Structure 1
Amino acid sequence: MVSLLNLGDCGIMVLRPMQKLPRFHGGTVTTEMRHLYRSTAMLHRRNLPLQLSSEDKDFSSLEEHYDLVTLKLRKGDLLIAGTDGLYDNIGDLELKSLALAHHQGRERSAQAFADGLLQRAADAARAPAEFGPGGKLDDIAIVVAEVVTASPTISGKLLANTEDAAE
């Protein structure tokens, strides 16, 4: 399990590799990356994200403005945390495609995947407008984690954690 707290315009995406069965008998089973979780940006208004600062003396106004989620993870799940420099320059579909390529090329490390994402986001940020919508220059920080082992957090039968503790 992992608990995630998010505030502002940084974000996190959790992807899970899933086998996709063929539409007809004899077809090929393929793998795709499924969104398990995707945070959303928290803004005061456009281009003005909620932020924490060392200058703030009172954080009580931010108590209602954060997301806290807990997710059950499995072996192979991929967590991609990044600043808005990542998510403003690489869309979710492209991130899923890059994550699938990483998942299928097992020789690559999470560090190599993060480095590749960083380079792709930096390239997109510097793209001139005449070749598309243009990029958004901003700071880019990325943390990638892949679940390599998983153990049940609650022993017992399937869905044991949904039973009333008083029983």
Structure 2
Amino acid sequence: MTANRRLDIEVTFQCTHNQADGSFGGGATYRQSGSLPDMGTVVDADGSIHLDRAASFDSSVYNTNVDVYLTLVSPANVSPDNTTTPIAWATQYGQGVTLHPPEGGGTIGEFSVETVPGNPNQILIRDKDDDSNTYHYKPAVELLEHGHYYISLDPPIVNRPPAR
């Protein structure tokens, strides 16, 4: 039986505080922290995941599925305050990540999303990687000290073309 490939991504959220109205916002940078087998560089700093750029692999050991582990770095730096705030994936009312198919549409059988037991700052996206579509995944973070303030992000996942 073959194993899923694994892609590890570290997510660093930069929080901004609008001192005029008290609201919060921000964005994230993404860093590919590992892969098994070595896929080469498939993650951009903006979070775009390009499985279409993944290196070839031994199909007697690995299958086309990819387990994408998103690990959130906490606490987040807050500017212009020069402080930090603890953050976590927004799993209180959902999965912490939503996935959207290309060109809108219905449900996605291509992915599943799971929280990693015992690690609230890690989410697992299981991708079948069996089509050639581009999906958008929206990880969301909560600022834990600010009334569970919810902030959503929006990078794409580009799947590799089907095997020929």
TM over 0.5: no
More helix by share: 1
More strand by share: 2
Name the TM-score, length of structure 1 as normaliser: 0.29
Name the TM-score, length of structure 2 as normaliser: 0.30
Q: Which structure has the greater CA radius of gyration? A: 1
